[in-house]
Structure 1
């Protein structure tokens, strides 16, 4: 009787010990049995299956798609949990570009892939580069997303972004004729530039603007800009890859025409006027190239290729979406000159920075 009781007590004890052991084993996390759970999906974010978003700490890149109202963004960046040491003491640079659609990359059969090949050719540590592109076509946004993702990951960039801002459907944006058409078109471009800048700039030290239809840049261009120490730089932009025909008429030093008192009154009151700023006693970058200058001060820059220290943008120097020069408190449409890139140097000068040309650095426009 006593032996049977002892056996029953031992059986109960053995079952209890096994139960505790099983519970403890069950509660132990096991990486070999199940992947780490991903955080819940936030509103307006879509997981990208090919990126395994946030699921494993050893994934080198993480990405997301974000959509709000008429704006959408695809962003991919190096996983902050994984350190990427670099021996270079060069600054971090953000490369930015505007494109209307997939046909905006230099004409002919050129594509985004060709544009990215040009960026790849830059002799600069890729882990110090970030990329931001703003496009205006929903269809092409979807098509170009995997291309940007692949480029950022294969080249080892710090971050890449593809933004969508639907194009203004009014005909005025594409109408280049007359003061009104040019003003509305360049105002629209300035707003897109500013939005791309505000949404892209993070911890970078400089911004390199490259128009989507630039088809060739020197391999050492970016390093030359950085080593120069200058605040704002534009190179000599020629038309095509043969010859030296100047393409960028918005980069100049000197003076331009001013409106007559009657034209200025019409501009300030918003009345139609035929006044358009023209070069009178100004020096273009191709003239500086002919003079053999390595660098020269500018009063205005274009946007074909434009290097800007990030601290300049952070100081408030952006792309004015109106004519900055000649405006006053009573003007409804701004002044008579200095819209978009042509207002950058005026703004920069007022806060202690200067614009420069490096005429011997030659880039090619398609």
Structure 2
């Protein structure tokens, strides 16, 4: 026969146990509120977040665990309303994405890049190079300079981040010599390939915090150190400096300069008439005697002694140096690799941006300089 149990007596908890339990409850409540209410990601999930500021907000998906379940990736929120593009980008800490398609590496290009006075912690560099022998050599030289700069003891030299992409298509020209690149018969294929490279570079690297995109060709070897803030100070959607080339004048045997980029222009009735007579796959080209467009070229608008602040409207732009508000690209303005109103690549980009409501501006007296082969 079971015996009835007597009254159960609970042992009185010590004051220390009560205090520890209360602290633990407060900690749990705080943790739940902080991780859920503010939109922040928990510490466990932050371990999965990519450290690269322009990488996707999650690390690559891992294989399923032993139980067949994969933990969900973290969710990152971006407030795009906080991204500004102003005439005073340094004061407003606006992030710059410098994009460079590169076939050859020029040390003068890199040296000039490092000398830019815009705060380097606000600059991301991104490059795209072809997968061929010349591209491999350029990639190796570029990586060596990146390692040297990013390991510098000077915080002001190191850039926020650096990205290198390799093209997944063969370049249409085997030689990158200047004479070969600029032959008229090579232009459509060459510039279509350039447009594809620019689009790949842009769409892969444009991050949610980017305010401005600076397109800078790998053979631009001399610019003012204040290039970025100078161009941004005009507060224009698309702004292009004037590209020249230094050379030894054979008539004077002295250092001189000559126009280089003919793609910054104002349209003309003659060019429009040519376009109206063209087939759907034909493109207009600038700077060739066989195709007289009679456009007004910005390269010939430069006047010694005139203000560098002078602005002119442009209908076409080149890509040697070009500052673009990131929202222009986010609106869909890209570089057509196909005839777009008989224009292609950078000139097609200017036309596409205009169709989207954005205008291009040129600075005829503000100069950058191209490498002279």
Shorter-chain TM-score bucket reads 0.5 to 0.7
Residue equivalent to 2:86: none
2:325 is equivalent to residue 309 of structure 1 = yes
Q: Cα gap change, 1:321/1:245 in structure 2, threshold over 3 Å: closer, same or farther?
A: same
Question: Where does structure 2 lack aligned partners over 5 or more consecutive residues?
Answer: 1-46, 60-88, 248-254, 283-287
Which residue among 235, 241, 245 is the counterpart of 1:239? Answer: 245
5 Å matches for 1:295-334?
A: 295-325=311-341
1:225: how far off?
Answer: 1.2
1:198 is aligned to 2:211: no
SS at match of 1:280: coil
2:194 aligns with 189
Matched-pair contact (CA < 8 Å) for 2:263–2:347: yes
SS in 2 for 1:237: strand
Contact 2:242 2:298 in 1 (8 A): no
TM-superposed deviation, 1:98:
1.2
User: Alignment partner for residue 148 of structure 1, among 132, 146, 149?
Assistant: 146
In 1, Cα distance between equivalents of 2:220 and 2:229: 18
Structure 2: distance between partners of 1:269 and 1:61: 40
Tell me what 1:159 maps to. 161
Matched residue of 1:240: which SS? Answer: strand
1:126 to 120, 123, 126: 120
Indicate the residue corresponding to 1:48 in structure 2.
none
Please give the alpha-carbon distance, in whole angstroms, between the structure 2 residues aligned to 1:210 and 1:123: 16
Do 1:237 and 1:246's aligned partners in 2 also have CA atoms closer than 8 Å? yes
Alignment of 1:277-296 (within 5 A): 277-289=291-303, 292=306, 294-296=310-312
What RMSD over aligned residues (CA atoms) do the two structures have, in Å? 3.8
Cα distance change on mapping 1:217 and 1:97 into 2, 3 Å: same
Aligned residues: 270
* Displacement of 1:151: 2.2
1:10-29 deviation line (CA, Å, top 9, x unaligned): xxxxxxxxxxxxxxxxxxxx
Corresponding residue number in structure 2 for 1:117: 111
**TM-score with structure 2 setting the length:** 0.62
2:298–2:362 Cα contact (<8 Å) kept: no
Whole-Å separation in 2 of the counterparts to 1:225 and 1:254:
23
After superposition, the Cα gap between the structure-2 partners of 1:159 and 1:322, relative to the gap in structure 1 and judged at 3 Å, is same
* Structure 1: stretches of 5+ with no match in the other structure: 1-38, 41-52, 55-59, 67-85, 106-110, 326-334
Moved over 6 A (4+): 60-63
Q: 1:163 to 1:244 in 2, by over 3 A?
A: same
